[in-house]
Amino acid sequence: MGLEEAILQEVREQGIEQGIEQEKRLVVVRTYEKGMPVTDIANITELTVEEVEQIIAAYKAGQQG
């Protein structure tokens, strides 16, 4: 594998990871809006409670601004 191919592979992998993280944030917001407890959301998304709370806080801040 050449350098260019290695770089392209790394970029693809980063894009996939970013997509997965974005989808997790969307799941957090949707389940939060449905009233699901933060601990359950954390278990479903495999995030920590703190990460879930940060996503929710950012979502709420975006709703206000």
- Spans of all domains in the chain: 23-65
At 61 the pLDDT is: 93
pLDDT-derived band at 43, boundaries 50, 70, 90 = very high
Specify the DSSP class assigned to residue 40.
Answer: H
Residue entry with tokens 């974005």: 22
What phi, psi does 46 have (nearest 5°)?
Answer: 60, 35
d(CA 37, CA 21): 20
Task: Read off the pLDDT of each residue in 15-42 and give the average, rounded to a whole number.
Answer: 95
**In the chain, pLDDT over 70 holds for what percent of residues?**
98
CA distance linking residue 35 with residue 25, whole number of Å: 15
How much is the pTM? 0.78
